[in-house]
Amino acid sequence: MAPPQVHHDSLNAKFTGIETQCDGISVNHFRGLKYASIPARFERAQPVNGFNGRVVDTSRFGPRCPQVDIDVRHLLRIPEVFVIEQEPEDEFECLTVDITCPPDTANRGNLPVLVWIHGGSQIMTFCSAASKICDPTKLVADSIKSGQPFIFVSINYRLNIFSFGDGGETNLAIKDQRLGLDWVRKNIGGFGGSPDNITLSGESAGAVYVHAHLITGPPVKRAVLASGSLYLSSPLPVERGNGLIKALEAKVQEHGESSLRKASVPALLQALKESNVNTMWIQEDDELKGWETRIEQADEVMIGDAEYESVIWRNGIETFDGETIAAAFEQDKTWGRTLRKMYHVVPDRPTACKLGALDLVNDARYTLPVELISDKLNAAGKRVYKYVVDQPNPWQASSRSHHAVDLLFLFGGIDLSFNSAADAVGHEMRSRWIQFVASGSPWSIEKRFAFGPVGECKEISETQFAARRRVEHLKTLREAGIGVYLPIIFALTAGKISLLN
């Protein structure tokens, strides 16, 4: 069988991809399309506008940004027999898009487009399509099967210090992604997609970036914020970033390198590892000023969280004793004691203290932002679809419905048929996402949707929601304000996050 090809006029190229089968459905893939070039380390990328009439092989994934290797199987509880192949890395060739689409889409035209921004604490690629875990084949195949086909595009971008920079250009990941989005708008028509019907989506750090793009524009039709927003990782002062840059510069100099800009890639990664840099952040700039009150530029937004998002701080918070945790709460003289008691933080009860700290982080970083963003969008006349993910990990139910477990359900990249409840949630989640991308209502806007537990997926009332989340705690946090609870959270979580929980 001849490989799928797309003759793209505006890019002046012929792209040759590959075709795969999923449940008897043919799906085409065009991988590793370069959307921008990086002229030098820490410099702003420049768009790729054409290929000079070449035949471009897009049958293989492009290289990812260099990163410290983190085994994503830990957090997702994926059995050790599941092998994830090492992915190639190149700091200058990592700005690519991967397109997964129905066959012959170039001749159909105007299909909806789902753009995906991956997560990974802004330091690594958490679950790529190459790893199989977030392979969008099943999602696109299900869209074809349902008669609502769409095109899936994932954007690869710079990470960790390669994105953070050395004090010159900042927020290079956002700038890379914006170039990727511009590329999709200009060129997806050649693959059969509609540039006016884009759903921008991401999970965890990917959702943080999606939120940033919704604030800064340009507008998109729809957006999905899955387990993340700017409330999870809000822009921080440049001075804090300069402190990190100075520390990393000193570390590479210990290894005989002159500077971050001139250091070898292995030296940079070693510095990140030795400095225990397990997350990074967006740096403050004029574009994002006042983001909390600015309206997200999308007509419709799907937003939700999992039941146990704060698991990624568990091992870190476990290192604290009860008195240290209680002291973090008590630093606020007005609200500290109220919050401490509400979360059952008692100095001589270390286990209860650790659980209470994790509950506060979960509520303030994930659950409350769903409400804050939804209320703002509703007031602006936007349509908001709220959901909860309560289905536990397919292999280890005692790990609960933890951070990133929804990736297993949504993509179905790993066969979940051994667990009928998890498999059912996966089918339902893909169905609801497909309806949303296709301009339908995934569920009643007056209700929330619950994915799980026990494989049950249904609309739930606010009373039922209150049985699944700490609604009264959210009310108190709203009243106290972010200026009260954020310093407590910083005291509890600084340097404590890990994707190896």
> Is the pLDDT reported for residue 108 higher than 80?
no
pLDDT-derived band at 106 (thresholds 50, 70, 90) equals low
Q: Which helix (H) or strand (E) holds 480?
A: helix 471-480
Q: Which H or E element spans position 210?
A: helix 205-216
Pairing of strands 25-34, 96-101: antiparallel
Is residue 158 predicted with pLDDT exceeding 90? yes
Instruction: Answer yes or no: are the C-beta atoms of 271 and 255 closer than 8 Å.
Output: yes
Cis peptide before 453 (omega within 30 of 0): yes
How far apart CA 334 and CA 349 sit, in angstroms, is 23
Closest to 198 (Cα-Cα) out of 180, 216, 215, 212: 180
CA distances from 141 to 230, 271, 341 (A): 32, 42, 50
Count of CB atoms within 10 A of residue 397's CB?
A: 16
Is 1-294's fold the same as 296-500's?
Answer: yes
Tell me: pLDDT of 54 over 90.
yes
Q: Decide if 187 contacts 115 (C-beta within 8 A).
A: no
Which residues make Cβ contacts (< 8 Å) with residue 303, sequence separation at least 6? Answer: 224, 225, 226, 229, 370, 373, 374, 384, 385, 386, 387
Kind of pairing between the strands at 111-117 and 55-57: unpaired
Tell me, which fold does domain 1-294 have in CATH?
Rossmann fold (3.40.50)
Cα separation of 343 and 360, whole Å?
7
Residue 107's pLDDT band, with cuts at 50, 70 and 90, is low
CA–CA separation, 361 and 492 (whole Å)? 9
User: Which pairing describes strands 36-37 and 151-155: parallel, antiparallel, or unpaired?
Assistant: unpaired
Contact, 70 vs 499, CB < 8 A? Answer: yes
Strands (E), 409-467: 448-451, 457-460
Local structure of 426: helix, strand or coil: helix
User: So what's the pLDDT on residue 104?
Assistant: 81
pLDDT one-digit tens code per residue, 68-104 = 999 999 999 999 999 999 999 999 999 999 999 999 8
Beta-carbon-side half-sphere exposure of residue 321 (alpha carbons within 13 Å): 3
For CA atoms 419, 425, 431, 433, the dihedral sign is negative
Quick one: pLDDT at residue 165? 97
pLDDT of residue 53: 96
CA–CA distances in Å: residue 76 to residues 30, 79, 139, 392: 28, 9, 19, 11
Q: How confident is the model at residue 37 (pLDDT cuts 50, 70, 90)?
A: very high
Residue 175 CB-half CA count within 13 A: 20
How sure is the predictor about 1, in pLDDT bands with cuts at 50, 70 and 90? confident
- Provide the 3-class DSSP secondary structure of residue 381: coil
pLDDT, residue 375, reads: 98
Q: Where are the domains of the chain?
A: 1-294, 296-500
| pTM reported for the whole predicted model | 0.97
Residue with the larger pLDDT of the pair 138 and 108: 138
How much is the pLDDT for 2? 87
Mean pLDDT (whole number) for 211-232: 97
Tell me the C-alpha distance between 407 and 372, whole Å: 24
pLDDT surpasses 60 at 300: yes
Residue 44 has pLDDT above 60, yes or no: yes
Can you name the residues that pair with 86 across neighbouring β-strands? none
Question: What is the rounded average pLDDT of the residues 354-369?
Answer: 98
CB 376 within 8 A of CB 225: no
| The CATH homologous superfamily of the domain defined by 296-500 | Alpha/Beta hydrolase fold, catalytic domain (3.40.50.1820)
Tokens describing residue 245: 């840059």
HSE-up (13 A, CA, CB side) for residue 375: 9
CA distances (Å), 291 to each of 187, 213, 302, in order? 30, 11, 19
**Alpha-carbon span 364 to 467, nearest angstrom:** 18
d(CA 139, CA 432): 11
Residue 348 CA, chain-centre distance (Å), reads 37
Give percent of the chain above pLDDT 90: 98
Distance CA 424, CA 414 (A): 14
The arithmetic mean of pLDDT across residues 32-43, rounded, is 98
Summarize the confidence of residues 15-33 as an average pLDDT.
Answer: 97
> What residue type is 320 in one-letter code?
F
What confidence tens digit (pLDDT) does each residue in 306-334 have? 999 999 999 999 999 999 999 999 999 99
**Number of other CB atoms surrounding residue 426 within 10 Å:** 28
The closest of 161, 169, 156, 165 to 269, measured between CA atoms, is 161
What is the rounded average pLDDT of the residues 370-381? 98
**Structure tokens given for 142:** 């299900």
Instruction: Indicate the length of the chain as a whole number.
Output: 501
pLDDT of residue 203: 98
